[in-house]
Amino acid sequence: MDFGIRIAAVIERSGALLLVRHKKPDREPYWVLPGGRLEPGETIPECAEREVAEETGLSGTFAGILYVSEFLRDGRHTVDVAARVEVDRHAEATLGSDPEVAPGTEPTLSELRWVGVDELRSIGLLPAGIKERLLTDAAGGWPAAGIYLGDARDR
């Protein structure tokens, strides 16, 4: 079974969230929060900030854990960690790339967009549980952040 931990970044600006559209040859395009697989030896904050830079060109600062969910299907077990990442409110996001895609092949990332609550309702954001939670939390304003207890190596 393939096991991995995916760190997704919740980046909010003026009531909208930043999303990335993925387009893969074997499936329909879909939207996700910017993010990717946690690398061995990398902390959650480091991964969140790295993935934001790679996929959106933005420099971000980890602000805490928001949600944790799991995906178990088709020989895969993925733990999804959604983290709040703060970016400069005036910086422009630009579509980045996925370094795991082999050179000369079709890019996985196809679009970058700020999405408000109304549009979020109609977009196919994955995983569905994160979409539902974000829509629930949007009524009170996007969540600020939960608590991250840090790297156990520090203790």
Q: How confident is the model at residue 73 (pLDDT cuts 50, 70, 90)?
A: confident
Asked if 53 contacts 149 with a C-beta cutoff of 8 angstroms, the reply is no
0.85 surpassed by pTM: yes
Q: How many CB atoms lie within 10 A of CB 36?
A: 23
Region at 54 (left for phi over 0; alpha for psi -120 to 50; beta for the rest): alpha
8 A C-beta contact, residue 20 and residue 56: yes
Domains of the chain, each with CATH number or no CATH = 2-88+107-146 (3.90.79.10)
Mean of pLDDT values over 79-96: 94
* C-alpha span between 20 and 128 (Å, rounded): 15
Output the pLDDT for position 145.
64
With cut-offs at 50, 70 and 90, classify the pLDDT of residue 155: very low
